[in-house]
Amino acid sequence: MNENNWSVIKFAQELLSLGGGADAITPAAISEAVSRVLTIMPGKAEGLDEDFVVEELMRRSSVWVGNDSSIVDNAGHEPWFSPELKKDWRYWRRYREWQEVKLPSVAVEALDKTTDNVLSMLEDPKREGYWDRRGMVVGHVQSGKTGSYTGLICKAADAGYKIIIVLAGLHNNLRAQTQMRLDEGFLGYETSAVEGEGSRLIGVGRIDSSPALRPQYVTNRSETGDFNTKFAKNLGVSPEQRPWLFVVKKNKTVLTRLLKWIQTHVAQSMSPDGDRPLVTHLPLLMIDDEADHASVDTGERVVDENDNPDLEHEPKAINSLIRQILHAFSRKAYVGYTATPFANIYIHEHGETNKEGPDLFPAAFITNISAPSSYVGPSRVFGLAAESGRVGALNLVRLVDDQCSEDGKLGWMPIGHKSSHSPLIDGRDAMPGSLVEAVHSFILACCVRALRGQGGEHMSMLVHVTRFNAVQQHVHRQVESYVHGLKQRMRRRTDFEAFLAEMRHLWERDFLATSHEIGLQDSELGGQVGFSWPVIEELLVDVLEQIDVRMINGKAGDVLDYADSPTGLKVIAIGGDKLARGLTLEGLCTSYFLRASKMYDTLMQMGRWFGYRPGYLDLCRLYTTQDLVEWFEHIADAAEELRAEFDYMTDSRLTPREYGLKVKSHPVLLVTSPLKMRTATTLHLSFSGDLVETVSFYTSQEKLQANLDALDSLCCRLGGSIAIPPQIRAGRKYSWNGLQWTSVGSHEVVEFLRSYQVHPDSRKVRSDLLANFVEQMSYSGELTSWTVVVLGGEGAPTPVGDGSVTLMTRADKAVDNAEKYSIGRLLSPKDEMLDLDESGWNTALEITRQRWRKDPGRSTRKTPPDEPAGPVIRLVKGLGADNVAPQPQKGLLMISLLDPEAAGSSVPVVAFAISFPSSKSGKSVPYVTNSLWERQYGASE
């Protein structure tokens, strides 16, 4: 990796930032800035790849970052932070300067703002007395959370926090990886297993190596470098000294050891009631990485029937020890970082015990951090649901269907295989063709990246097909043997023609077309490959020689030593749980993923392919099954819904406790797992502010006819209809083809819902549950007056009530399932505007535009919205806004008849959607899940 490239990028970026903004950054301006840097520092020209430098600076100039949002409870908090305090903060100054080498200037500014905001919600470490602040930072998977909390640690140390404990996952390699990153970003030197100070300066230590600035460490970067009393027994900790860093696993033995050492070597006082040693002279900052994993107490009955805490409750071991460590300090701050906060929201806000103190609920704040526009998350990989299917998805997914037999019980990697399984194909010790192609894709990606000037960067491939170490060993042997064979054949030029032919076919069939397609979709993400096949072929031998195949699990000795590979590590990593959460695969290009978890947080965390792929996103590939693609699509939609819910709660200035109650009642949980919810199998759900749509349907003639009869009965009861009137909004005409009834009573809607039969795979829609909810709301004067419409499409007319509508066409997405007809979205975006007047429409559009680009990780739009978003429409309807009166009594039921041909039926398919206005009532209805539902949606394997 040429350090001169990155030095020139950093200094040129600083020069460009002094200009006239992003619009002024042109190729000519960049070339001029690079020339000025080289004039000032001519030594930087040695080995400089100027084309790479210019391309990287152009890429950075197009990045933008939205604004974070926070839900805060300032009870007991004393404001203390101001930006002026930072003028003498050296830990932060050198960390910022180090980040400027790697990040666009707008991303560095965003990091500064985020960490300022989080620090300001903690307490002044110099404040005397007893204080306790607990918060949570919610980011995106693989979006740079480690970099964010490293920045917070630097500022906290500058401000005066003396003990800094980072809880870093469950495994040694993840803990070691986190230690290495903090060595670079905070300590500034390599930690050593040898007692005493570390040696080689790295990262921020090369920027400012002053001995007075050197933080002290208790854990080190080796695999066995976790906290141990032998190393720590001679340590003396006093408030006059520099801050101390502990990077520890969430492990019972380690945390017990750390707690005992704090109580016996650090504490200088006793608690007021004399029941435990207490540290009063040193303020603590605890960072909980992946805070939803292992930290949460999943025990029962933490409170009584009156929500009073059970002071004698015995939490699970990890949760208990984390809380006891916090409880050992009189002044402390706890910040959990996660991308999947469901488990943390289910921590009871009143949970507390005598021994452990309060539970880990983020009572002080929850901050939703925005990812830069260069971040590629679930909505970019899998798109979002729309009436014509998924929209915005990048063409990076390749379906795998050769890993097992049709029934999933036999083959190379059956779905329910055991630890004794041997991966074979027709009795042969071989890999499936899809895995062979995935390896070939990785090799090609490495070649193209080298040709693009990225040859010195890390490049990784993920193979994640089983959780069993013994089965991983077989897979590792197969992949290693295959790659070794390729190296020999290419090196000796024997029996290599077939391999070259396959590689060229893959190059021409896939890579050229995909890069071109993604370049047209978004020029910032990819473009023309620009290389001929002979140029690629010439690189194959060198690239193959650099590729290692390693097994990363609890039994293997392999590690991903990125920090010790200055010329770029090229690795195929084979593993399971260790690769599933937290561990970053640098430069991940190709993923082969078969794990079948159906838990929201587990699947999201397994998505190592999300993140940043500067200059090579078009070369990335995800090989996985259709079943997992559908689950990730559900996840992408669910993630967007809950972040929209967070936007609403932020705008409403609610507290974390109120947000927790809201999320607990959100129907999106019907596509997630109740495993960590403490309330056993009962969900209390609210549909206020939500849109529900039927997207999966029976194909049985009998059931389809029953639903058609339910619609006929509804129309008969409603009487005469009118055509849906058009609307003029902002000079545009909106029109709908269909029938409308207004001022419909809630009892009519309830009766229709109770007579409608929903397919069980329409996960968020339970018609009986919806009926109960409408009925419950009507008792308090809400959802009492409905607009009911039957929307037509482009198909043939069919009689409905006293008129007729045209059939709507939706393609069948169900794969090899004759008993199910599945679609993407039922509604068009404009449909929720049906009952919104002009004043409400304008207000909703204004709020939508205010939220636009708030979090680019969620949006692919490059122009301001010209229509109000559905969540905002529902918000304005229910809660009102400036010049718009709230109308929580109004509901909108939209029904469509889908063309039966797609379902293989002769009976039209009745589909419906309901747009529920937002509500302040807090009403919910209980939903008791059964054991079948838990097995289907709640099992992690």
Phi, psi of 149 (to 5 degrees): -75, -20
Q: Between 848 and 479, whose confidence is greater?
A: 479
Entry pTM: 0.76
Q: With bands split at pLDDT 50, 70 and 90, how would you rate the model's confidence at 649? A: confident
Contact 364, 334 (CB under 8 A): no
Cα–Cα distance between 488 and 493 in angstroms, integer?
8
From residue 479, alpha-carbon distances to 250, 432, 482, 573, 606 in Å are 32, 11, 5, 10, 21
Contact 227, 168 (CB under 8 A): no
Q: Between 456 and 704, whose confidence is greater?
A: 704
Contact 326, 279 (CB under 8 A): no
Phi, psi of 462 (to 5 degrees): -105, 130
Find the DSSP H helices in 160-228.
172-182
Per-residue pLDDT for 677 more than 80?
no
**Each residue's pLDDT tens digit, 679-690:** 345 667 788 888
The residues near 415 (Cβ < 8 Å, ≥ 6 apart) are: 404, 408, 409, 596
**Average pLDDT of span 278-287:** 95
**Average pLDDT of span 551-576:** 77
**Average pLDDT of span 256-277:** 91
Q: Between 783 and 584, whose confidence is greater?
A: 783
Q: Between 308 and 516, whose confidence is greater?
A: 516
Q: What is the pLDDT of residue 884?
A: 86
Q: Between 710 and 404, whose confidence is greater?
A: 710
Quote the DSSP letter at residue 139: -
The residues near 573 (Cβ < 8 Å, ≥ 6 apart) are: 460, 461, 462, 463, 550, 551, 552, 560, 579, 585
User: Is residue 50 exposed (0-12), middle (13-18) or buried (19+ Cβ within 10 Å)?
Assistant: middle
Read off the tokens for 527.
């473009």
From residue 936, alpha-carbon distances to 389, 599, 671 in Å are 25, 10, 10
Comparing CA positions, the residue from 887, 826, 885, 874 lying closest to residue 848 is 874
For the beta carbon of residue 80, count every other beta carbon within 10 angstroms.
15
From residue 462, alpha-carbon distances to 438, 467, 574, 857 in Å are 10, 14, 6, 23
Q: Between 82 and 683, whose confidence is greater?
A: 82
Per-residue pLDDT for 580 more than 90?
no
**Average pLDDT of span 541-550:** 94
CA 547, chain centre distance (Å): 29
Per-residue pLDDT for 204 more than 50?
yes
The 3-class secondary structure across 357-413, one letter per residue, is EECCCCCCEEEECCCECCEECHHHHHCEEECCEEECCCCCEEECCCCCCCCCCCCCC
What secondary structure does DSSP assign to 702-718, as a single string?
HHHHHHHHHHHHHHHHH
Provide the angle, in degrees to the nearest 10, between the axes of the packed helices 317-327 and 252-261: 20
Cα–Cα distance between 703 and 800 in angstroms, integer?
18
Contact 682, 928 (CB under 8 A): yes
What secondary structure does DSSP assign to 569-594, as a single string?
-EEEEEESHHHHSS---TTEEEEEE-
Contact 25, 61 (CB under 8 A): yes
Comparing CA positions, the residue from 112, 110, 106 lying closest to residue 21 is 106
For the ranges 28-37, 552-561, 867-876, the lowest mean pLDDT is seen at: 552-561
Phi, psi of 623 (to 5 degrees): -95, 115
Contact 411, 425 (CB under 8 A): yes
What secondary structure does DSSP assign to 502-569, as a single string?
HHHHHIIIIIHHHHHHHHHH-TTT-------HHHHHHHHHHHHHHEEEEEESSS------GGG-TT--
Average pLDDT of every residue of the chain: 84
Contact 758, 765 (CB under 8 A): yes
Per-residue pLDDT for 82 more than 60?
yes
Per-residue pLDDT for 562 more than 50?
yes
Using the Cα atoms of residue 520, residue 523, residue 526 and residue 531 in order, give the sign of their dihedral: positive
Cα–Cα distance between 408 and 229 in angstroms, integer?
49
State how beta strands 397-399 and 785-791 pair.
Answer: unpaired
**Each residue's pLDDT tens digit, 91-148:** 999 999 999 988 888 889 999 999 999 999 999 999 999 999 999 998 877 778 889 9
Fold entry, domain 98-299+307-368? Rossmann fold (3.40.50)
For the ranges 144-148, 407-411, 495-499, 553-557, the lowest mean pLDDT is seen at: 553-557
Per-residue pLDDT for 667 more than 60?
no
Delimit the domains of the chain by residue range. Answer: 1-62, 98-299+307-368, 393-624, 683-937
- Please identify which residue in the block is written with the tokens 């009766």: 751
Residue type, 902: A
Quote the DSSP letter at residue 282: S
For the ranges 321-330, 571-580, 745-754, the lowest mean pLDDT is seen at: 571-580
Q: To the nearest 10°, the Cα dihedral for 371, 375, 378, 383?
A: 110
Q: What is the pLDDT of residue 937?
A: 35
Percent with pLDDT over 70 in the chain: 84
For the ranges 43-47, 161-165, 736-740, the lowest mean pLDDT is seen at: 43-47
**Average pLDDT of span 386-415:** 83
Cα–Cα distance between 381 and 361 in angstroms, integer?
32
For the ranges 621-625, 814-818, 829-833, 882-886, the lowest mean pLDDT is seen at: 814-818
**Average pLDDT of span 274-284:** 93
Q: What is the pLDDT of residue 192?
A: 80
**Each residue's pLDDT tens digit, 831-884:** 999 999 999 999 999 888 877 766 655 665 667 888 998 888 998 998 888 778
Q: To the nearest 10°, the Cα dihedral for 451, 457, 458, 459?
A: -20
Q: What is the pLDDT of residue 672?
A: 47
**Each residue's pLDDT tens digit, 512-540:** 999 988 887 766 655 556 789 999 999 99
